[in-house]
Amino acid sequence: MKLIRLNKFIAESGICSRRKADELILQERIQVNSKTVSDLGSKIDPDVDKVSYDGETINIIKHVYVLMNKPKGVVTTTADEKNRRTVVDLVAIKEKVFPVGRLDYNTTGVLLLTNDGDFAYYLTHPKNKVRREYSVNLDRSLSKEDAEKMKKGVFIDGVRGKFISVVYPNENSGKFVVVTTEEGRNHFVKNMFQTLGYTVTGLNRDRFGDFTADIPTGSFRILTDIEVNRVKEKYEKRT
């Protein structure tokens, strides 16, 4: 008999990350052998116990990992109430996947999708400090003074955020900068600039952790085992 944590089983069913699985357990939306479970420390035997999510049986599935170079005009979700095209619509594979984190509707660049909740958890949990690099187009030139302010930290909705670096690739135009951060909050880059009176007119995520957009815009590829294992080896022990 091999017992595993219930939240790990839920994550490996492809529904969500372990962090989100804990929320589902606390919300009493998970049943084990037809009995609702609310204890975060619960363990199960996957070969014997029957696990359900909102009454629907779930099982561990084959994991798949996708890298996309997200285009503009696509929603980073699995479904959209406005019937807009989603990133999942662009992934022509039979397995169901969900996006790891989020990019705004008109933001482009590196996006990962998977059905492995743990993999998503490793890359999005704040304590793992996964770096993101963005190319940013602004409505006006960014002053060196404001760049330094954002590296020291500014407050967004009462929470301090900062860029690790702000680089000016084109010395003749301060309207284009490249920033690096460990933050994953929604609209974080846009909000950082907006706090100091700048408007982001174009945004591309160049790098997410070790991954870059090495494929044409709008296309995707399956990650190699080496790439997947590199993430797991790097972050598993921290979780």
- Collect contacts of 52-55 with beta carbons under 8 A, ≥24 apart: 53/10, 53/13, 53/15, 53/24, 53/29, 54/29, 55/31
Answer yes or no: 104 catalytic: yes
* Catalytic residue (choose from 49, 80, 104, 206): 104
Locate tokens 């460990």: which residue? 182
Positive or negative, the CA dihedral 85, 90, 96, 98 is negative
Residue 36 in tokens: 């609702």
Partners of 114 in beta bridges: 65, 98
For tokens 């590196």, the residue is: 110
Q: Residue 157 in 3-state DSSP? A: coil
Residue linked to tokens 């359900």: 52
User: Would you please indicate which residues are annotated as catalytic (active-site) residues?
Assistant: 104
